[in-house]
Amino acid sequence: MIMFDRITGPAAARLLLATAATLLASFPAALSPARAQEPAKPAQIVINDSGGDMQATMRKIFYKAFEDRYGIRVVTTSPPDLGKLRAMVASGNVDWTVTELTGQEAIDAEKAGLLEKLDLNIIDLSPYPEHLRQRQFIFPKSVYSTVMAYRTDKFPGENHPKSWADFFDVKKFPGMRSLQNTPLENLEFALLADGVAPDKLYPLDVDRAFKKLDTIKKHVAVWWTTGAQSVQALVDGEAVMGTAWNGRVWALMKQGAPLAIEWNGGAIKEAAYAIPKGAANSYWGQKFLALAAEPKPQGEYANTIGYPGLNLESIKFTAADVAPFMPTYPDNLKKQFWTDLVWWSENGNAIKERWARWILEN
Amino acid sequence: MRRGLFSLNLSRKTWSGIGGAVPPILYITLLFLLPVLIFLGGAFDDTPRHLVRSVSDPLYQRVLIDTLMLGLYVTGICFILGYPLAYALSVMPPRWALVGFAFLLLPFWTSLLVRTYAWMVLLGRNGVINNLLMGLGLIDTPVSFLNNMSGVLIGMVHVLLPYMVFPLFDVMKRVDGSLLSAAEGLGAPGWKIFLRVYLPLTLPGILAGSVLVFVLSIGFYITPALLGGGRVATMALMIERQVREFLDWDFAAALSLVLLICTLLVSIGLGRLLRGKEIHG
């Protein structure tokens, strides 16, 4: 199917016609012959992403490849915003051809009916892990992990925190902490620290988690909001250890910051791409996702920014020296757990309000 | 005849004035007021449950009070810093006043995020200010300027100070110097001239500046989130979360309505208070 993209001219038209004919035969009423023709090429498509370093890397690898292949310009906006997506779909004025979403945002967007169905005839998910191959609405863009990061100058050699139990132990590992200002994953970390087995986390014992979090609350210097802030707190010494997204820490480690990642107990999850419902040029959005599913650009992207794609063949294109810094590196993967975003989507709102209340209590 | 002509001219002027005002009024009604009203209408579901929840839930009560207090603190600090500053600018030779304004306006042209992160670099535990104070031997351990209320106040006052200074400067420039001379000539001591003459004359500036700063400060979002280390919650943050994360726009509308009403009440109250003082003065 990937090769299919590169077939142009009469061959492509023949293939498309053949596909259309087969489909027409099975659903004569549902499909019009217009489907057989490739929609006209627009001058540009709009991709909404997280901006910053990630956008620069996306531009260099994915957007450029798309522009070169189809002659359609990729215009970018940022950041991903669920509220804005809903407003766009509701008003029928959808600017984005494709948008990035966090794993949980994507699930919420799918539930709210804000997404266009993925065309798996265009997007080839067969080299993906089996549970992802039949994705209906959410394209699995890459994986990232919320990990524990610590200052190597404060904890040199082997004397560093190695588990969430250590993170919560301020006697053994003194100093201020920083955590994200959300219950998502902090509850999991607290339960792991309290002795819950990683495979027994869900459904979360919310009360037990908050009780454990009480013990560390006054040792948290920063409840961070943005990715930049999470690592800033560590680099500036506001905290000696804290949580951050793996790529953020790795970027600073490469620049020589005295930081290290402890993968044990890291919370791994998907970042997503999706096509908003009613997006103009959605066909070319599907084509972009088809390109984003290819292993080679995924491997190059991971080499630069530390967030690997989920095409299992992309590992072939990942440099050997950067592989140990990827959340999907086998040694790392087995130490982490997958955040259950479906559980959070179903139960999260009430817990998030409780969290806001808890943070404001002294 | 002359009077008729005069009144004709007047009405023509009036009409053209009204005609000129129609496009902006239409523009504001259609593109601002109407959408806001439609949005706020969401708060009035079949039942008033959203409104009841937004005023009865302890979380939102607490955040509302914190937000209003934050607004008052920021307004107070801006006044204390802005009043002497505006006075100094108003009596300076114009060339120096220009330099002063340049410094005041410089942060205006810088992105809010850049300014906020710049404060992190300055105020942090290993930041410029703490290192300076420790280098001078004034303190032994770093002072926590950041990730608490003080960080939020510093960041917000920095952003909002010009809104206090400009109305004050404008009023102070127009204060009739002969009134002050007269008071002096009649033997009033300096502090009395200030309290009885200068302060009442500049009250409209204080009022305008305070309302501007207060109203702007209670809508703040990113500065408290970043410089408060997560400990300072504002209504704007709660509303944003409902809109973007929970997709509960009706409840967001109810929270917005509560904040809007409080803003109006406090602004009107503040105006009354200051105007009352003006009469007594």
> Which among B66, B226, B247 is the nearest to A229, CB-wise?
B226
Q: What is the mean pLDDT of chain A?
A: 90
Q: Mean of the pLDDT values across residues A39-64? A: 94
Q: What are the pLDDT digits (tens) for B99-108?
A: 999 988 887 7
Q: Give bridge partners of residue A220 from the DSSP assignment.
A: A177
Angle, vertex CA A269, rays to CA B239 and CA A106, nearest 5: 45
Q: Mean of the pLDDT values across residues A249-265? A: 96
Q: Do domains A3-142+271-317 and A144-269+326-360 have the same CATH topology?
A: yes
Q: Is B120 on the interface with A (CB under 8 A)?
A: yes
Q: Give bridge partners of residue A7 from the DSSP assignment.
A: none
Domain-by-domain residue ranges, chain A? 3-142+271-317, 144-269+326-360
> Which among A86, A108, A236 is the nearest to B120, CB-wise?
A236
Domain-by-domain residue ranges, chain B? 1-41, 49-280
Structure-model confidence comparison of residues B14 and A113, the more confident one: A113
Which stretch of A94-103, B9-18, B41-50, B247-256 has the lowest confidence by average pLDDT?
B9-18
Pairwise CA distance, residues A104 & A13, whole Å: 38
Q: Mean of the pLDDT values across residues A112-123? A: 96
Q: Mean of the pLDDT values across residues B103-118? A: 86
Cross-chain residue pair A225–B127, CB shorter than 8 Å: no
Res B113: pLDDT: 84
Res A7: pLDDT: 42
Closest CA to B256 of B275, B234, B236, B241: B236
Res A3: pLDDT: 37
Task: Count other C-beta atoms under 10 Å from residue A146's C-beta.
Answer: 26
Cross-chain residue pair A82–B58, CB shorter than 8 Å: no
Q: Is B104 on the interface with A (CB under 8 A)?
A: no
- The residue of chain A with its CA nearest to that of B244 is A83
CB-side neighbour CA atoms (13 Å) of A322: 21
Residue B125 with chain A: CB contacts under 8 Å: 236-238
Res B270: pLDDT: 74
> Which among A112, A181, A236 is the nearest to B126, CB-wise?
A236
Structure-model confidence comparison of residues B87 and B266, the more confident one: B87
Reported CATH class of domain A144-269+326-360: alpha beta
> Which among B66, B125, B246 is the nearest to A237, CB-wise?
B125
ipTM, 2 decimals? Answer: 0.79
Res B11: pLDDT: 63
- The residue of chain A with its CA nearest to that of B62 is A360
| % pLDDT > 70, chain A | 90
Domain B49-280, CATH number (from 1.10.3720.10, 3.30.390.50, 1.10.357.10, 1.10.150.130):
1.10.3720.10
- The residue of chain A with its CA nearest to that of B223 is A225
Structure-model confidence comparison of residues A275 and B232, the more confident one: A275
Q: Mean of the pLDDT values across residues B260-276? A: 80
Q: Give the distance from CA A333 to its chain's centroid.
A: 16
Flag whether pLDDT at B15 surpasses 90: no
Flag whether pLDDT at A229 surpasses 80: yes
Residue A228 with chain B: CB contacts under 8 Å: 117
Pairwise CA distance, residues A266 & A337, whole Å: 6
Handedness of CA B183, B188, B193, B196 (dihedral sign): negative
Cross-chain residue pair A356–B233, CB shorter than 8 Å: yes
Flag whether pLDDT at A360 surpasses 70: yes
Residue from A110, A177, A225, A243 to probe the interface with B (highest B Cβ count within 10 Å): A225
Residue A222 with chain B: CB contacts under 8 Å: 147, 229-230
Cross-chain residue pair A357–B58, CB shorter than 8 Å: yes
Q: Mean of the pLDDT values across residues B169-186? A: 91
Q: Are A240 and A258 in contact (CB under 8 A)?
A: no
Pairwise CA distance, residues B256 & B95, whole Å: 44
Q: Mean of the pLDDT values across residues B125-151? A: 91
Q: Mean of the pLDDT values across residues B90-110? A: 89
Inter-chain contacts counted by CB atoms under 8 A, chains A and B: 66
Cross-chain residue pair B229–A352, CB shorter than 8 Å: no
Pairwise CA distance, residues B90 & B205, whole Å: 13
CATH 3.40.190.10 fits A3-142+271-317, yes or no: yes
| % pLDDT > 90, chain A | 84
Q: Mean of the pLDDT values across residues B169-194? A: 91
> Which among A228, A238, A360 is the nearest to B147, CB-wise?
A238
Q: Is B152 on the interface with A (CB under 8 A)?
A: no
**One-character DSSP codes across B49-66:** HHHHHHHHSHHHHHHHHH
